[in-house]
Amino acid sequence: MPAPTQTRRRFVNLAQKGLLLSVLFTAACAWWAPAVQAQTSGSFDAELHRTRDAENGPRIQLQLGLGGRDQWGFSTDVANLTGLDPENRSDPVVFKLDREAGVLTFEGEWDGRRWISGDWAFAGSQTYLDTMNDLGYRRINEEEHLAATVFDISTDFVRGLNDRGYERVRWDDLTALRIHGASLAYIDAMADALGETLDIDDFVSMRIHGVTPELAKTFEEAGFRRLDAGDLLSARIHGVTPEFVDELNELGFRRLRMDDLMSLRIHGADLDFIKDMFEVGYPDISIDELVSCRIHGVTASFAERMQDRRGTVSVDDLVSMKIHGNY
């Protein structure tokens, strides 16, 4: 196949929104003429990473170069590649990432025990493009075709989304779902756990922040029976855990609301702070009072000093002293 003619390059940012966290996927991709199917190629560097995941084994980080400073980075399990044996250091090393959308072929040489450098080539599948066209995706360009191969945006995955009512999902959202591991099984499990219809953004954000069906179940067992996706996301972002709820229960705080837990975490009213306030004479302090103390800088040591000077001092008085500086 004759080498394609490079006409221009561009950087593409494929990003998916999270509540407080955005995960940026940046691709530098060459455009080739005349056909979408034209084979794309360049240089690559790869680094092997040993993991403790006995099931999936080692991972590999790949940087695809497209000339100049343009690069596209991604990682995958070595198990997803054919022909790469991390224990075999003989050169040349040839391996492939073979997906429904196309095939990425790598050929290079070892540089030490972890690094491989060489050249890569991409050959897209016309059958994949034709099937995706039938599913409503009629203008898949080369960078999207390459992304479909890397992240395995399969026609079965798209059909599965259609079957669940998510039709004609934006390409960037399809990519984000696959990047963050929001599989059809995960989508089903979260929808079942929460008992509500969720948006694509919800699934991506929940995967980014580590929201799982098991987490939803554990909160339900702790007494939170009407949490939605936003509640679970906020809990994960601010470090509210079922264990934190149990520890507060042991300190005497019952019938807690998620908003109360968020406020405690946001303002740093941790268990040590609560216990310290108990020890200096405030065993009945409320959640609102704890939060107010943290906001205005009332500490257990400050409370002790004010008690030494004035005798019995209420939490409201302590907060007022800090606000007005009359101590």
Q: Do 83 and 26 share a domain, yes or no? A: yes
pLDDT value at residue 284: 96
Q: Do 14 and 133 share a domain, yes or no? A: yes
pTM comes to 0.79
Number of compact structural domains in the chain: 3
Q: Do 31 and 151 share a domain, yes or no? A: yes
For residue 219, being part of any structural domain is answered with: yes
Q: Do 315 and 230 share a domain, yes or no? A: no
Residue range 271-300: average pLDDT?
Answer: 97
Residue range 76-97: average pLDDT?
Answer: 94
Q: Do 27 and 144 share a domain, yes or no? A: yes
Q: Do 24 and 97 share a domain, yes or no? A: yes
Q: Do 84 and 104 share a domain, yes or no? A: yes
Residue range 178-201: average pLDDT?
Answer: 95
Q: Do 45 and 146 share a domain, yes or no? A: yes
* pLDDT higher at 248 or 28: 248
Task: Give yes or no for residue 54 having a pLDDT over 80.
Answer: no
Q: Do 244 and 290 share a domain, yes or no? A: no
> Exposure of 187 by Cβ count < 10 A (0-12 exposed, 13-18 middle, 19+ buried)?
buried
Chain mean pLDDT for the chain: 86
**Among candidate residues 168, 201, 223, the one where a domain is terminated:** 168
Task: Give yes or no for residue 281 having a pLDDT over 70.
Answer: yes
Supply the DSSP string of 133-186, one letter for each residue: HHTT-----HHHHHHHHHTT--HHHHHHHHHTT--S--HHHHHHHHHTT--HHH
The alpha-carbon radius of gyration of the chain (Å, integer) is 27
**Domain range for residue 136?**
5-168
